[in-house]
Amino acid sequence: ILAIAQGSSELNISVVLRESDVKSALQELHSEFRLEKLRPLPERVEKHVDLVTLGSGQIGRSFIRQIIGQKHFLAQTLGVSASCIAISDRSGPVLNMKGFSESELIDILEIKAQGGKLRSGSQSTLGKPQNPAEQIMGVVRKDLFTHAVQKGIVVDVTGDDTHNMLLEFIEQGYHVVLANKRPLTVPMDAYKHMLERAAARKVAIRYEATVGAGLPVLDTIAKLQSAGDQIETVLGCLSGTLGYISTQIGAGVPLSQAVREARQLGYTEPHPADDLSGLDVARKALILSRTIGRNLNLSDVETKPLFPERLYHADPDIFVQRLSEMDQEIADMVQKGASQRLVPRYVARIEKEKLSVGLEMVSENSPLGRLQGTDNQIVIRTRRYDSNPLIVTGPGAGAEVTAAGVVNDVVAIATSYFGV
């Protein structure tokens, strides 16, 4: 501080700083006095949210398109306006603190659809790529956190470990919406710390799209719990990819052929082993488990992959070829089950003493047994819904439905925050 003076009215203080210190000083003032809670700037409507989107892959682009498409509905029906002030990819974020215009957003979507980068110069001086998180947060700290954002929501649609990044956003007063499962499956101590910091900063963390895409799974569980019900068990088919493969092998298609078809249809990850390992389903099961109050870690999930480790190969084509060694074993299991009116399903089980995911033979007349194709299903048994459990079924995969779940969470925060 070079100089400081108090006004004659005793209602204002003037401070003179070096220009290089202005941004950091403003940041400290806003943090100390929580100025983000003040009314918006005059040119902003009162019910306004600023969106920061981490990730611009298929889900991220679908989310932005849906925000554009629902602009008039949000304004006319809920009295809420939303602006995208920052969008990031692995090269870093692009920012516009007044909000990107619709035409600018469309240009950004086109760049990403063609495989382009949002920022140039993402290489270090040594010619090596910077860590994506460092690349993003370096710009965010310098150019975003130094501005007053009254109603900020950070939307994480990446597949990266963004836990520490989200903590920084929370400390800056941002609400959090997730389609990314990884921040919710960190070790329990880190998970609890994130929830505690969010509570201390009075911001929400919503993550409906992490389980069942756009299906109202977590919202249903939350409503049951708020009504005083007790969740006893949750069973579910939580992977559209594994749902399709299970349906196919149940119909007599060899495992290797079913996986090959799923790849051709675009249902699998670039490497099918990422789906067949069961890890993604294990993460979803852990999120469900923690949501109903179980203090468990990812290592506590009993995970049964659809293939033995010896068949893995880094080349996805070779890996799929090797899966043919499993064809007869799977066919025998399916045939034996069929004689007992059982069908194969990849099931997540959240029970009192057990948390597991793996291929099971279930009754063909059960809700899970009647499930077909890529649809997801969650069977919730509670103290009240015991003999006749509550079932949520529908599309559980795809960028559009997942993005719709993200939009629903954004709207829920906006309407709750403003009391609409």
What residues are annotated to the active site? 284
Instruction: State how far the Cα of 289 lies from the Cα of 232, in Å rounded to an integer.
Output: 11
Is 251:401 a contact under the CB 8 Å cutoff?
A: no
Instruction: State how far the Cα of 352 lies from the Cα of 222, in Å rounded to an integer.
Output: 18
3-state secondary structure at position 389: coil
Nearest to 374 by CA among 399, 396, 351: 396
Quick one: 111 exposed, middle or buried, by C-beta within 10 A (0-12, 13-18, 19+)?
middle
In whole angstroms, how far apart are CA 52 and each of 92, 95, 164, 372? 12, 9, 16, 36
Residue-level length of the chain: 420
In whole angstroms, how far apart are CA 7 and each of 4, 11, 30, 322? 10, 7, 21, 79
Nearest to 80 by CA among 89, 92, 70: 70
Find the helix or strand (DSSP H, E) in which 164 lies: helix 163-171
Instruction: State how far the Cα of 27 lies from the Cα of 30, in Å rounded to an integer.
Output: 5
In whole angstroms, how far apart are CA 297 and each of 187, 230, 287, 290? 6, 21, 10, 9
3-state secondary structure at position 385: coil
Structure tokens at 327: 């064809």
Quick one: 186 exposed, middle or buried, by C-beta within 10 A (0-12, 13-18, 19+)?
middle
